[in-house]
Amino acid sequence: MKKFNILILAAGRGRRLGNKTLKNPKPLMNFKEKYLLDYQFDVYKKFQNIKIHMVLGYQAKKIQSHLKDKKIKTFINQDFKKTNMYYSFLKAKSLLNQKRDLVVVYGDIIFKKKIFDKLIKDNSNIGVCVDKNYLSYWKKRMKDPLKDLETMLIKNQFIVQLGKKPSTYKEIQGQYMGLIKFSYKKFDQIKKIIKSINIKNNHYKNLYFTDFIQVLIDNNIKAKAVKVSGNWQEFDKPKDFKIDNYS
């Protein structure tokens, strides 16, 4: 059985939820009377040989209080107000020194066990969960999905481009979910690329995680599209708590 580190990125406030995150950070908001974060924990506890880590920022102490009975290491992004996902990931880059595959997951999504199981069983250097039937879900979320969706171009099972603003649905062959696995065998190469990004890009602190994946792809590290259909959900706006793509 492979050994895994799980890194949950949960530093941001979730501004698109407005005042709803004033009382609790997004991972501790309820969906069907259960914290978003606990949906993830209920999946992870069904697997062996995993260690869970989190990057925190907004209301970090509240989340740490929720974690007090769990063996979870936390990293802090003090600059969460003016940085993005890639910078939060850098706070835990020490995990790239371990001989454990690394699963990076956004703290505002939930998913069924079968999705996580499919991801960790994939043997590619990078596996990116992609919802192939995204459109029916996005139509429940908003009137004009194209304004919110991102590009995803796939060739022979591997991602060629992701994370851009599409002009047509032809540029979307699936939707990025925020659930990614990295093989430890590529960590040395990934660390070199990270060093290069941080030197050459003056705005690296504001990069999205999809930007980072695209740079890896452009540097000849293949990223496989691990295709799923439904049984997951992200929580970005108040309406997301009123629909169900998870069940």
Contacts of 216 (CB under 8 A, 6+ apart): 126, 190, 193, 223
pLDDT for position 198: 97
pLDDT for position 2: 87
Burial readout 21-58 (b: 16 or more C-beta within 10 A, e: otherwise): beeebbbbbebeeebbbebbeebbeeeeebbbbbbbbb
Provide the H-helix boundaries in the chain: 36-44, 60-66, 85-90, 113-121, 134-141, 187-200, 209-218
Q: Between β-strands 50-56 and 126-131, what pairing exists: parallel, antiparallel or unpaired?
A: unpaired
Which ranges of the chain have pLDDT less than 70? none
What is the amino acid identity at position 41? F
Cite the beta strand spans of the chain per DSSP E: 4-10, 50-56, 72-76, 101-106, 109-111, 126-131, 152-155, 158-162, 175-182, 223-228, 232-234
pLDDT for position 227: 98
What is the amino acid identity at position 65? S
CA distance 73 to 65: 13
Q: Residue written as tokens 């099972």?
A: 157
pLDDT for position 239: 97
CA distance 229 to 131: 5
Closest CA to 193 of 93, 91, 55: 93
pLDDT for position 136: 97
pLDDT tens digits for range 10-44:
999 999 999 999 999 999 999 999 999 999 999 99
